[in-house]
Amino acid sequence: MARLPSTAANFHLAIVLCLLHHLINDYLLADAAIVEHTFHVGNLSVQRLGQSQVITAVNGQFPGPKIEARDGDTVVVHVVNLSPYNLSIHWHGILQRLSCWADGPNMVSQCPIRPAAGTYTYRFNVTGQEGTLWWHAHVSFLRATVYGALILHPAAPSSYPFPTPHGEATILLGEWWNVSVVDVERQALLMGAGPNNSVALTINGLIGAGGGGGSENSSSSSSSQYELAVQRGRTYLLRIINAALNYELFFKVANHSFTVVAADACYTDPYHTDVIVIAPGQTVDALMRADADPGRRYYMAAQVYQSLANATYSAATTALLTYLPDASGSDDEQPTLMPTMPAFNDSATAQSFYASLTGLLQDGVPLHVDTRMLVTFGLGATPCASAQTLCNRTLGSVAASMNNVSFQLPTTMSLLEAHMRGAPDGVYTRDFPDRPPVMFDFTGDAMAANRSFMLTSKGTKVKTLRYNETVEVVLQNTAVLGAENHPLHLHGFNFFVLAQGPGNFNAHRHVRKYNLVNPQQRNTVAVPGGGWAVIRFTADNPGVWIMHCHLDAHLPFGLAMAFEVEDGPTPDAVLPPPPPDYPRC
Ligand code: C2O
């Protein structure tokens, strides 16, 4: 029989543990810093594809400034709006515990920061978060150019749950229009149809070969594309962010492969792959070993992934990977190696990547569920509004919905302000349904032709949750206006993705597939086109949190809803009042 330690030994152990605990805490807290930035947002004229374009940008930079903080730090960003547009900025993936005021979605957590030098200071801490996130404008299509990386380092330097890489690089993937993106959105709303496609993809704001405009000539394009120089034998952490407005992307580097170690700033079990699949809003941290022939140059390439049948847009762009010490100067006679990309509609590759990730840290998959919801979503139609002068009167205006409610932003007051005042009347209603109004074959082919399922009603409906309630949501894509993968993003929480699959969710068959052991945690899940995904989270953060499709084409059409989370019983579970400079309408 094992001998129990004596009481005295226990006591000493307790003291040692206690001291150790204090030492670690002191070390962490003493180091917690305030990371402060000022964002001047205004017009910037840039050259792309041989023409000059005025964009909205932060501090004259495109992409915008990178914010770096450590777990435990407080981030303070003073935003000054010198642009001609209403503005708000969202810190995508930041949990915003007790700081919903700083979340940023226009008319959800705040009224916009007005043009002509309106200001607002976003203040939040990043406790308990590590990895790659990003920030972006959360009003109209402005996030096309108003975005940047938000990197959260571990509190203790390099204390990653994987071997410390020799270096790291941020890879921001985006889309480029040759016109004002605000006009692109305005035009789409007037037509009641999808917006015009971008003309190119970007990597770190630059357009490389194959990136539109037919700049296949590598000598002219190489000067304008992003270049990452590496040393042979070293390992690099690539922090890949999909900041594109409307397209999921494949990402590859010729002759190199990756080990995925995190997604959406949640560590994953190491996952080996030679292709990364990433939806708008998502991030992937991947280790890449520089183990190829250092005498050659390699393209890294991003290419559109299309889940929608008969879609044709298949843009791609490149950046360069070169080996030091020669870097770009190395052996010019040999052509730069291009990776073999998946077909632009290769859903098997996309789905296999999305479904293969598992979570490394199992901090609390809720096993008990208080509230279960089945939420159908997709595109449909509403009759043209009179202001939509270009709308097709026969087909109607494209609308998107969740449980047949097409989400409308309020106009007089933000949802959060109305919530704080305890006066939602005239701003929102608390009747977002737990189920769709009718059950039908959501993903069957017959649906595409059945116009009776297309009509949606508009509303600003929230689902109210008690503090600490556990919630399971079956996210069911519909095929009413074409089966398409929609990346759904939830503000204020990371959720566990328990399962996903094609067709209609069937509790009987699919509950058995739930991964309750090591599911991936994310803030954005790419729900398979004509399929479903099941997420679970604990509503432990009071405030109003929007859940929406991160394809910007679908957000103004109403593919969104919001959760209203009540205050908890203790002072540390109550949302404090808004800061003094909180923008009101
Ligand atoms: Cu990255 Cu509500 O968005």
* Ligand 1 nearest atom to the CA of residue 93, by list position: 1
**Co-location of 345 and 246 in the same domain:** yes
In ligand 1, the atom with minimum distance to the C-alpha of 491 is 2
Ligand 1 atom nearest the C-alpha of 281 is: 1
Q: Are residues 75 and 41 in the same domain?
A: yes
Return the pLDDT at 442.
84
Task: Indicate the length of the chain as a whole number.
Answer: 585
**Residue 286 located in a structural domain:** yes
SS3 state at 1: coil
* CATH value at residue 54: 2.60.40.420
Ligand 1 centroid to residue 181 C-alpha, Å: 17
CA-136 nearest atom, ligand 1:
1
CA of 469 to the centre of ligand 1 (A): 23
The stretch 246-268 carries a mean pLDDT of 98
Please determine, for residue 24, whether its predicted confidence score (pLDDT) is greater than 70.
Answer: no
Give pLDDT, residue 453.
61
From 171-175, 319-323, 449-453, 488-492, the region with the lowest mean pLDDT: 449-453
- Atom nearest to 280 CA in ligand 1: 1
> In whole angstroms, what is the distance from residue 551 CA to residue 487 CA?
7
Distance, CA 101 to ligand 1 centroid (Å)? Answer: 15
Say how many Å lie between the CA of residue 409 and the centre of ligand 1.
Answer: 15
Do 171 and 142 share a domain, yes or no?
no
Residue 2 within a domain: no
Tens digits of per-residue pLDDT, 505-561? 999 999 999 999 999 999 999 999 999 999 999 999 999 999 999 999 888 889 999
Confidence grade of residue 332 (pLDDT, cut at 50, 70, 90) = low
Q: Edge-to-edge strands of the sheet including 89-92?
A: 67-70, 147-153, 131-137, 89-92
Hey, whose CA ends up nearest to atom 3 of ligand 1? 92
How confident is the model at residue 17, as a pLDDT? Answer: 45
Q: What are phi and psi of 189, to 5 degrees?
A: -70, -35
Q: For ligand 1, which residues put their CB under 6 angstroms from it?
A: 90, 92, 105, 136, 138, 281, 489, 491, 546, 548, 550
Claim to verify: residue 550 and residue 420 sit in the same structural domain = yes
pLDDT digits (tens, 9 = 90+) for 488-518: 999 999 999 999 999 999 999 999 999 999 9
Instruction: Tell me the average pLDDT across 148-163.
Output: 96
Distance 90 CA to ligand 1 centre (A): 7
Same domain, 242 and 350: yes
5 lies in a domain? no
Tell me if 136 is assigned to some domain. Answer: yes
Of all residues in the chain, the percent with pLDDT exceeding 70 is 89
User: Closest ligand 1 atom to the C-alpha of 524?
Assistant: 1
- Looking at the fold, whether 450 and 325 belong to one and the same domain comes out as no
User: Does residue 223 carry a pLDDT above 60?
Assistant: no
Which long-range contacts link 333-338 to residues 24+ away (Cβ below 8 Å)?
Answer: 334/295, 334/296, 334/297, 335/218, 336/218, 336/254, 336/296, 336/297, 336/298, 336/299, 337/254, 337/255, 337/296, 337/297, 337/298, 337/299, 338/254, 338/299, 338/301
Tell me which of 360, 382, 413 is where a domain ends.
360
Are 151 and 187 within one domain? no
**Could you report the per-residue pLDDT of 64-112, keeping only the tens digit for each?**
999 999 999 999 999 999 999 999 999 999 999 999 999 999 999 999 9
Query: Phi first, then psi: what are they for 200, rounded to 5°?
Result: -165, 160
Number of domains in the chain: 3
Q: Say whether pLDDT at 464 is over 80.
A: yes
Position 281 in a domain: yes
pLDDT band for position 311 (50/70/90)?
Answer: confident
List pLDDT tens digits, range 35-53. 999 999 999 999 999 999 9
Q: At which of 335, 360, 385 does a domain end?
A: 360
Give me ligand 1 centre to Cα 164, in Å: 30
Please state, for a pLDDT cut of 90, what percent of the chain lies above it.
76
Q: Tell me, yes or no, whether 515 and 413 share the same domain.
A: yes
CB of 462 within 8 A of CB of 496? no
Coil, strand, or helix at residue 513?
helix
- Amino acid 101 reads W
Work out the end-to-end distance of the chain between its first and last CA atoms, rounded to an integer number of angstroms. 71
Closest by CA position to 64, among listed 103, 93, 38: 38
Same domain for 151 and 166, yes or no, is: no
- Whether 8 is covered by a domain: the verdict is no
* Average pLDDT taken over every residue of the chain: 90
In a domain, 175, yes or no: yes
| Of 430, 466, 428, 434, nearest in space to 542 by CA | 466
Q: Are residues 381 and 475 in the same domain?
A: yes
Do 255 and 331 belong together in one domain? Answer: yes
Q: How confident is the model at residue 454 (pLDDT cuts 50, 70, 90)?
A: low
CA–centroid distance, 491 to ligand 1, in Å, is 7
455/476 same-domain check: yes
Q: Which pLDDT score is estimated for 5?
A: 41
291 pLDDT band (50/70/90 cuts)?
A: very high
Asked if residue 312 belongs to a domain, the reply is yes
How far, in Å, is the centroid of ligand 1 from the Cα of 138? 7
Determine the atom of ligand 1 nearest the C-alpha atom of 104: 2
Q: Is the pLDDT of residue 445 over 80?
A: no
Instruction: Print the domain residue range for 563.
Output: 371-573
Domain boundary among 113, 132, 156: 156
Taking the centre of ligand 1 as the mean of its atom positions, its distance from the CA of residue 470, in whole angstroms, is: 22
Write the CA distances from 337 to 317, 332, 488, integer angstroms.
Answer: 14, 12, 35
